[in-house]
Amino acid sequence: MIQDARKPVIRFIDLFCGIGGFRIAAEQAARLLGVRSECLLSSDIDEPCQIAYEANFKHKTLGDITKISADSIPDHDLLLAGFPCQPFSIIGQRKGFEDTRGTLFFEIARILEVKRPSAFVLENVKMLKGHNGGKTLNRIMEALRALGYICDYRVLNALDFGLPQKRERIFIVGYKKPCPFVWPYGKVKMTPLSRILEQNVPKEYFASEYIRNNRLARHAPTEMPTIWHENKAGNISVYPYSCAMRAGASYNYLLVNGERRLTPREMLRLQGFPDSYKIVCNYSQTRKQAGNSLPVPVAQSVLFQLFAAQGWHNGVYDDSLKQEESVHGQMILLERRAKYGRKKKPKVAYC
Ligand SMILES: C[S@@+](CC[C@H](N)C(=O)[O-])C[C@H]1O[C@@H](n2cnc3c(N)ncnc32)[C@H](O)[C@@H]1O
């Protein structure tokens, strides 16, 4: 980390950046710990994602990562990558770092090998854990360890981090030097759907009368807002939260109260994007982008723990905080300390 005269800076790169969910999480975590962060490079091959990213971060995104030489990448402290699941079937069959060649995971490994940042956080679908009887994930972990990183993984659910979305994702954290990193617990109370849903939603979001009647024939209307899910067999499940948004799912897979699709703003809120995030792409592009993105509060909690463990903070974080059982509790403590000073020993409260 660069010791700047004003504030230390965490320099990071954002690979497979999509619309920048990881970047928002890193910036938020750094801010909570009183340090600056600076994204030195971002890359995504998808043009609409590049447009959304540039509109929001005023930062031009590079394209295909396979065409970017590791030497041309600036030195950084942290590598972030929510890499696509495309390479699984290939990695699982083979052994070690060299054998990941030709996969998008290899692109991460080759950059780590040359640039050697202090730490990295990778994110992927939960399925990676069980793929090919666990062999695929083992190969990935072996490859990362062969590069000299201490690493671990954990499946975390967005529902445990305050979002009304059941979205389980695997996070892989690695660092060069031993540090007291602990995984966040979550335990944050769920934001009610009513706070995510927009009012006066335009007609175009409503499903046809045929679809609505079809849903009502299979489930009674609910008093509280709910999301109605249709599985491949045509069964309807109704929950006060959304199941994982999926980029390629049918347009009627998730229906608010069984009658309408989610608006772009609602989809971004379900992933924890702030309302200040500008929506510049059309409905189907934004739907795909939100479905491919990551739950920001989960990534933020993981990054908060990592930054704190790496000592990337401005003295606001100490050992007593490390022992608190959730990041949410830690954030409340930080806020109280900022308000009342350090001497008072506050109780942790969960809202
Ligand atoms: C799972 S999404 C990651 C989304 C991101 N974490 C976010 O918050 O929006 C994977 C991304 O990898 C991008 N991608 C796929 N192949 C790529 C390549 N060869 N080079 C750069 N990006 C690529 C896709 O366009 C997609 O946006």
Active site includes 179? no
Residue type, 196: I
The one catalytic residue among 39, 85, 243, 281: 85
What per-residue confidence (pLDDT) applies to 245?
Answer: 86
pLDDT at position 246 is 82
Q: Distance between CA 156 and CA 296 in Å, rounded?
A: 12
Our answer on whether the CB atom of 87 is closer than 6 Å to any ligand 1 atom is no
Q: What is the pLDDT of residue 103?
A: 79
pTM score of the predicted model:
0.88
- Rounded-to-integer distance, Cα 88 and Cα 94, Å: 11
pLDDT score for 229: 92
Rounded to the nearest angstrom, the distance between the alpha carbon of 237 and the centre of ligand 1 is 30
Most confident residue range from 18-27, 87-96, 132-141, 183-192? 18-27
Once rounded to an integer, what is the mean pLDDT over residues 155-164? 97
Nearest CA to ligand 1 atom 22: 44
107-145 confidence digits (pLDDT tens): 999 999 999 999 999 999 998 898 888 888 998 999 999
pLDDT at 63: 96
Q: For residue 123, give the amino acid letter.
A: E
Atom of ligand 1 nearest to the CA of 22: 8
Q: Ligand 1 centre and the CA of 81: distance in Å?
A: 8
251, two tokens = 């347009």
Q: Is it the case that residue 162 has pLDDT exceeding 50? A: yes
Which SS3 state, helix, strand or coil, does residue 186 take? coil
Could you tell me if the CB of 18 is within 6 A of ligand 1?
yes
Query: Residue 79: pLDDT above 80?
Result: yes
Q: What is the pLDDT at residue 183?
A: 97
Average pLDDT for the chain: 87
Q: Ligand 1: which of 42, 44, 53, 246 to mutate, judged by most atoms within 8 Å of the beta carbon?
A: 44
Per-residue burial over 311-323, b if 16 or more Cβ lie within 10 Å, else e, is ebbeebbeeebee
Domain 9-184+294-339: give its CATH architecture: 3-Layer(aba) Sandwich (3.40)
User: Nearest residue CA, atom 21 of ligand 1?
Assistant: 44
320 lines ligand 1 (CB under 6 A): no
Q: Which of 42, 292, 294, 302 to mutate to test the pocket of ligand 1 (most atoms within 8 A of CB)?
A: 292
Segment 55-72 mean pLDDT: 96
> What is the whole-number distance in angstroms between the Cα of residue 45 and the centre of ligand 1?
7
Q: Does residue 338 have a pLDDT over 70?
A: no
Work out the average pLDDT over 233-247. 89
Where b means 16+ CB within 10 Å and e means fewer, 199-217 reads eebeeebebeeebbebbee
Q: Is there an atom of ligand 1 within 6 Å of 14 CB?
A: no
Structure-model confidence comparison of residues 161 and 343, the more confident one: 161
Contacts of 323 (CB under 8 A, 6+ apart): none
**33, 310 contact by CB (below 8 A):** no
Q: What is the pLDDT of residue 76?
A: 98
d(CA 117, CA 114): 9
Is 305's C-beta closer than 6 angstroms to any atom of ligand 1? no
Q: What percent of the chain has pLDDT over 90?
A: 69
Q: Is the CB of 136 under 6 A from ligand 1?
A: no
Residues of the chain with CATH 3.40.50.150: 9-184+294-339
Instruction: Specify the 3-state DSSP secondary structure of 321.
Output: helix
pLDDT at 96 over 50: no
**What are the pLDDT digits (tens) for 288-329?**
999 999 999 999 999 999 999 999 998 866 654 554 444 545
CB 123 within 8 A of CB 173: no
What's the CA-to-centroid distance between 16 and ligand 1, angstroms? 4
Highest mean pLDDT among 1-5, 178-182, 232-236, 324-328: 178-182
Q: Region 204-213: what's the mean pLDDT? A: 94
- CA distances (Å), 127 to each of 230, 247, 248, 262, 341, in order? 21, 16, 16, 25, 45
Euclidean distance between CA atoms 275 and 299, whole angstroms: 18
Residue partners of 268: CB distance under 8 A and separation at least 6: 277, 279, 286, 290
Largest CA distance in the chain: 66
The mean pLDDT of 72-97, rounded to a whole number, is: 75
Closest ligand 1 atom, residue 65 Cα:
20
What is the H or E stretch that residue 104 is in? helix 104-115
Report how far residue 11's alpha carbon sits from residue 165's, in angstroms, rounded to the nearest whole number: 30
Distance 130 CA to ligand 1 centre (A): 22
